[in-house]
């Protein structure tokens, strides 16, 4: 049995079923809908009121522009006169006018007679028996060309009269004795091998600044290896009997004794 209103629902009977549940669901569903709608309306009103409060009206600032008329400046009569122009001083021999003084004929220099243009051209064509040379007939290009030899590429293969690697291998024992072991590597107990690619000139001397580190066991060995190679003179490589520049890889072994 249901007493009072749904808000103060009291169940006094043990009989309770679907009908009572339907009544309760309907009442509370409507109540929740009303609450939600009221909350949404309040939120919309609050947002609208806040936006009106924060809204500002920006006006373009007006800048007044004054009109200036060009007026000729009156010339004051009391103004100071312009400075005088600088005085130009002419230096030279001062000519003095006076009475002429007669000079004897012996002291008068004879008049010089100058040759005319026709006489000069005739005399120049008759002097000497040398062959005349026309400048326009001279060749403009003497045929002299200076060709600058280009260095070979480090990866370029150059054919030589002999196997240059074998030629260099004969000098390696002498080169190995020139190598100075780096002190830092000696203290650290580092050993290893360094392969340096170097450009050998036509005179058999390594060209400065033409070295490439191909392989190294430690960066400590590189300066000592390059220094020893640059101090060594190698047999020059030849091609058809003529010396040529060639790149070669030289191995240097660093080993503690």
Instruction: Say if residues 250 and 187 touch (Cβ distance below 8 Å).
Output: no
- Which pLDDT value is given to residue 24? 85
Can you tell me which residue has the tokens 């260095």? 151
Residue linked to tokens 């080993």: 255
Q: Pull the structure tokens for residue 216.
A: 């190294």
Instruction: Give 164-254's CATH code, choosing from 3.30.479.30, 3.30.2420.10, 1.10.340.30, 2.40.10.10.
Output: 3.30.2420.10
For residue 33, the model assigns a pLDDT of: 94
pLDDT, residue 13, reads 47
- What size, in residues, is the chain? 257
Domain positions in the chain are: 2-38, 164-254
Question: What pLDDT score was predicted for residue 2?
Answer: 44
Low-confidence ranges of the chain (pLDDT < 50): 1-4, 7, 10-14, 57-58, 62, 64, 127
- Give the predicted TM-score (pTM) of the model: 0.42
- Order the strands of the 206-216 sheet from edge to edge: 206-216, 192-200, 246-254
Q: In the prediction, which pLDDT does 104 show? A: 66
The per-residue pLDDT for 143 is: 53
Q: Is 252 exposed, middle or buried (0-12, 13-18, 19+ CB in 10 A)?
A: buried
**Residue in this structure with the two tokens 């009291």, named with its chain if needed:** 10
Predicted local confidence at residue 1, as pLDDT: 41
| DSSP bridge pairs for 246 | 200
Spell out the SS3 assignment of the chain.
Answer: CEECCHHHCEECCCCCCHHHHHHHHHHHHHHHHHHHHHHHHHHHHHHHHHHHHHCCCCCCCCCCCCCCCCCCCCCCCCCCCCCCCCCCCCCCCCCCCCCCCCCCHHHCCCCCCCCCHHHHHHHHHHCCCCCCCCHHHCCCCCCCCCCCCCCCCCCCCCCCCCCHHHHHHCCHHHHHHHCCCCHHHHHHCCCEEEEEEEEECCCCCEEEEEEEEEEECCCCCHHHHHHHHHCCCCCCEEECCEEECEEEEEEEEECCC
């Amino acid at each position: 049995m249901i007493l009072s209103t749904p808000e103060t629902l009291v169940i006094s009977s043990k009989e309770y079923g679907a009908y009572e549940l339907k009544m309760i669901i309907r009442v509370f569903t409507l109540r929740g809908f009303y609450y939600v709608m009221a909350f949404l309306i309040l939120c919309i009103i609050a947002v609208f009121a806040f936006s009106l409060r924060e809204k500002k009206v920006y006006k373009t600032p007006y800048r007044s522009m004054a009109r200036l008329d060009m007026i000729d400046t009156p010339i004051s009569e009391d103004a100071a006169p312009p400075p005088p122009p600088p005085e130009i001083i002419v230096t030279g021999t001062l000519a003095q006018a006076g009475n002429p003084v007669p000079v004897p004929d012996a002291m008068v220099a004879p008049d010089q007679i100058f040759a005319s243009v026709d006489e000069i051209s005739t005399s120049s064509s008759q002097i000497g028996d040398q062959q005349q040379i026309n400048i326009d007939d001279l060749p403009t290009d003497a045929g002299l060309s200076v060709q600058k030899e280009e260095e070979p590429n480090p990866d370029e293969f150059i054919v030589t009269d002999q196997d240059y690697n074998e030629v260099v291998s004969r000098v390696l024992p002498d080169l190995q004795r020139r190598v100075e072991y780096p002190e830092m590597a000696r203290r650290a107990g580092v050993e290893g091998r360094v392969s340096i690619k170097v450009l050998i000139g036509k005179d058999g001397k390594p060209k400065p600044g033409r070295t490439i580190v191909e392989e190294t066991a430690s960066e400590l060995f590189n300066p000592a290896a390059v220094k020893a190679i640059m101090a060594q003179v190698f047999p020059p490589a030849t091609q058809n009997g003529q010396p040529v520049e060639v790149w070669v890889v030289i191995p240097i072994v660093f080993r503690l004794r």
